[in-house]
Amino acid sequence: MQTSSTDILVLGAGIAGLAAARILAEAGRSVLLLEASSRIGGRILTVREGDEIIELGAEFIHGRPPELWSLLEEAGLDTYEIDGPTIRFENGGLSATPAVASPEDESVPVLDRLEGYVGPDISFSEYLDQQQVPEELRASAIGYVEGFNAADHRIIGVHSLGLQQAAEDEIEGDRPFRVRDGYDKLPQYLCDKFLAAGGQLHLSTLVKRVEWSASQVRISGSVAGQPVTHTANQAVITFPLGVLQQRAVEFVPVPPPVLEARRLRMGNARRFTMLFREKFWVSPDQDPANNGDFSFLFSFGSVPPVWWTPLPHPSNTITGWVGGPRAELLANLTPAMLGEAACEVLGEIFAIEAEDIRSELIGTYSHDWQRNGLAFGSYSYVPAGALDACSKMTLPVDHTLYFAGEHTDTTGHWGTVHAALRSGIRAAQQALQT
């Protein structure tokens, strides 16, 4: 059996864990970072095919959150804004929409009112009934809430949605950006800084049990089937919410933040990216400003209902996205099966024979986070009546355990990279105060 002892253990090498580990190591602490996967990055997963950069996890920088932009600038990573045309397919035809990058424009009258909502924390479904929202607005509002939050509108709470709306306004959250060379460059930068500060990283280390008492933590797990044990005075725990809820790791005793985690929900989303030889949706003989290319495409009667490209970055890819309960319609489909079905949908949207689209398809890329045993879902959301669970998860446990991850965010940015980053910074600062 392998054993080791260190000052602080950090569990999970996603953005939250890497951010915390870097700060702690640069502060002079002895830090061991354990990651169950064979790679770093967590739910940031970038693959490359030739010149194409394909994101299978987090993709967008939502607005201008200061912590994330500061880190991007420090790392010297180039970004660009997704600001091409937005088009819509409805009533059998394509049409341009106002220059916005989300379907929220139709839902604004419903969602904006949530910022000032002071009633009881009820589900979004109950809120729509209470406000007697007209059916045409109701459908678009549900589509937006479920798609953006990967949530069930019958469960997600209006207090969290109101907080989210205000938070998005503060950072220009309706402006999506991308990292030009791939989002995985960001966790790699944090990892490089962590290792340069003297930290240790162990990959493929599956943690199975966390035993703790005041100022003492013992981690039991395995590497390639061989048992390992690590001890420390403190631990920063950044497991995804789904891992905590599935009880994939045993805590002895169970600390309060783990109990609070069970009050939240892990959202379900399915995304896939199709790589083509040529942009079949573009008319090269037309004006480049009006040649059919697009940044976002909304087709709310289809599955997926949301599509996008990396425009203005040159690319021959289209990504399909469905969030919330409708994501189950694509459950258990392989990437090849997703691509096959998507050709039929895209054929209807663009009035092109599906077989002609298939002839241009090189491959379809996807990662099923819902059935990933190291995630058990895409990202978190807050049910009605559970908003306090997030803040309670941020409380240190006997100056020994510190929980981080996007699900512990208290600022209304659940499910984002900047929420994970903020939580890792916060947990590291709490640990350093001891």
**What is the pLDDT at residue 100?**
44
The pLDDT score that the predictor gives to residue 103 is 46
pLDDT for res 287: 60
Alpha-carbon 29 to chain mean position: 30
Rounded CA separation 182/178 (Å)? 8
Q: Which among 300, 302, 315 is positioned nearest to 344, based on CA atoms?
A: 302
Pair 380, 265: CB distance under 8 Å: yes
For residues 138 and 118, what is the distance between their CA atoms, to the nearest angstrom? 21
Mean pLDDT of 241-254: 98
Q: What pLDDT, on the 0 to 100 scale, is given for residue 384? A: 98
Report, as an integer, the average pLDDT of 195-216: 98
Nearest to 431 by CA among 410, 390, 401, 391: 401
Q: Who contacts 301 (Cβ-Cβ below 8 Å, separation ≥6)?
A: 89, 90
Percent of the chain with pLDDT strictly greater than 70: 96
Question: Tokens 């306090």 identify what position?
Answer: 388
Q: How does DSSP classify residue 333?
A: -
* CA–CA dist 271, 376 (Å, integer): 15
Cα separation, 280 vs 262, whole angstroms:
46
Q: Tell me what pLDDT residue 31 has.
A: 98
pLDDT of amino acid 291: 81
In this predicted structure, the answer to whether residue 342 has a pLDDT above a threshold of 50 is yes
Give me the domains of the chain, ranges plus CATH numbers: 2-43+183-266+381-432 (3.50.50.60), 60-65+76-84+176-180+268-371 (3.90.660.10), 103-170 (no CATH)
Q: Indicate whether 306 pLDDT > 70.
A: yes
Percent composition of the chain: helix, strand, coil (DSSP 3-state, to 5): 35, 25, 40
**What percentage of the chain has pLDDT greater than the value 90?**
88
Q: How far apart are CA 6 and CA 21, in angstroms?
A: 13
pLDDT (tens digit per residue) in 21-64:
999 999 999 999 999 999 999 999 999 999 999 999 999 999 99
For the purposes of burial, counting CB atoms within 10 Å of the CB of 289, is it exposed (0-12), middle (13-18) or buried (19 or more)? exposed
Which of 134-138, 325-329, 336-340 has the least mean pLDDT?
A: 134-138
pTM of the model: 0.95
pLDDT at 329 over 70: yes
Report helix, strand or coil for 314: coil
Determine the length of the chain. Answer: 434
Question: What mean pLDDT do residues 141-162 have?
Answer: 96
Please give the pLDDT value at position 101: 42
Predicted confidence at residue 116, as pLDDT, reads: 84
Residue 231 corresponds to which tokens in the numbers above? Answer: 């001890």
Across 304-329, average pLDDT: 96
96-119 confidence digits (pLDDT tens): 875 444 444 555 678 888 988 889
Mean pLDDT of the chain: 94
pLDDT at 95 > cutoff 70: yes
pLDDT beyond 80 at 192 = yes
pLDDT above 80: residue 346: yes
Average pLDDT rounded to a whole number, residues 286-292: 69
Cα distance from N-terminal residue to C-terminal residue, the chain = 31
Please tell me the predicted confidence (pLDDT) of residue 140.
87
**Does residue 424 register a pLDDT over 50?**
yes
Lateral strand order in the sheet of 79-81: 61-62, 176-179, 79-81
